[in-house]
Copies of this chain bind each other. A is one copy, B any other.
Amino acid sequence: MTITAAIVGGTGYTGVELLRLLAGHPQVSLEVITSRGQAGTPVSTLFPNLRGRVDLPFTEPDSATLGACDVVFFATPNGTAMEMAPALLERGARVIDLGADFRIRDLKTWSQWYGMTHACPEIAAEAVYGLPERYREAIRGARLVANPGCYPTAVQLGLIPLLEAGVVDTQQLVADAKSGASGAGRQPQQHTLLCEAGENFRAYGASGHRHLPEIRQGLVDAAGGPVGLTFVPHLLPMIRGIHATLYAPLLDPGVDLQALFAERYADEPFVDVLPPGSHPETRTVRGSNMVRIAVHRPVDSNMALVLAVEDNLVKGAAGQAVQNMNLMFDLPETAGLRDLPVLP
């Protein structure tokens, strides 16, 4: 079986990563890639790493052409997918949105954080949150998948076992997260210039970041009740990778955290629980869809400490989107996602 695929908005970093993954996927035929600004330009002119492997040019987005594909990925700024998705769904395409338009079920909360009124509330209601480790069965049957944000993927995967098992105080969670600069996108901005972000480290959005309500929604699901969460993102002087350092006060100091995580993720193809005492490194997942997690009990502390790493553009974006596509079309879940991380 070959799936025909389209990408709307292919000039950013999640777009080029989708291109790389789909170009190497054994059961996908990439048919269309759109960009208003670059229509007519060959993809390989912008991204010479794809020379000889992706021969498409960028084209203007068009509902008929897009809707004729089996699946349409949106790698667009927030607010675009909600305008175009209804027409595509009607034509029979399935949609995976890598933006934030369908991630938050409570549209009032969504509007507050994203500063827009939602364009298709009824469609939003049927969207499935595309975190396979929590919502695999719902994803299989979905027409519309909201691909999770980069930070939310790492933070949720790191905290879910603790919350599902009810072993931590859910009111005092801390997620100290660090991301490479590719999370900020390919649009020229001063603060992501090499001369500004290189040899430098800082927090941002410390008083409140858009990924907070998304993370909290997932954690409430897992905990079955309210959670108190402090989430602080930081910008790393590197390109790819997210490291989430997660702190949760233990209710029962006797719980075997290593076993808890090992069992929870035993059957997950893309979650790797490291041996006791490990410190996962972001480079060990670079370019791959893996999340690696280690759990610690710091000396003289009542905290469960979880360290989780992912590639923000793969498991945090394009790779997870392909994983969701695989589930939606009943392909092997790991198809097209077997490339090994390049190290060093």
Contacts and interface: CB of A to CB of B under 8 A. Distances in A.
A202 B53 contact: no
Interface residues of A, number: 89
Contacts of A178: 178, 201, 234
A282 B201 contact: yes
A212 B300 contact: yes
A307 interface: yes
Contacts of A341: 49
A117 to B, nearest CB: 22
A1 interface: no
Nearest to A277: B207
Interface in A6-22: 13, 16, 20
B342 A241 contact: no
A249 to B, nearest CB: 7
A279 B204 contact: yes
A230 interface: yes
Contacts of A338: 24
A303 B175 CA distance: 12
Interface string A281-295: 111111110001010
A254 to B, nearest CB: 17
Interface string A89-104: 0000000000000000
A243 B203 contact: yes
A274 B45 CA distance: 10
Contact of A342 (B193, B230, B286, B307): B286
A49 B181 CA distance: 21
A195 to B, nearest CB: 4
A47 B343 contact: yes
B192 A195 contact: yes
Interface stretch (A55-63, A77-85, A133-141, A183-191): A183-191
A339 B24 contact: yes
Contacts of A239: 194-195, 198-199, 344
A315 interface: no
A188 B198 contact: no
Contact of A298 (B207, B287, B307): B207
Top 8 A-B pairs, shortest CB-CB distance: A188-B188, A208-B299, A49-B341, A287-B342, A195-B344, A176-B176, A200-B283, A202-B281
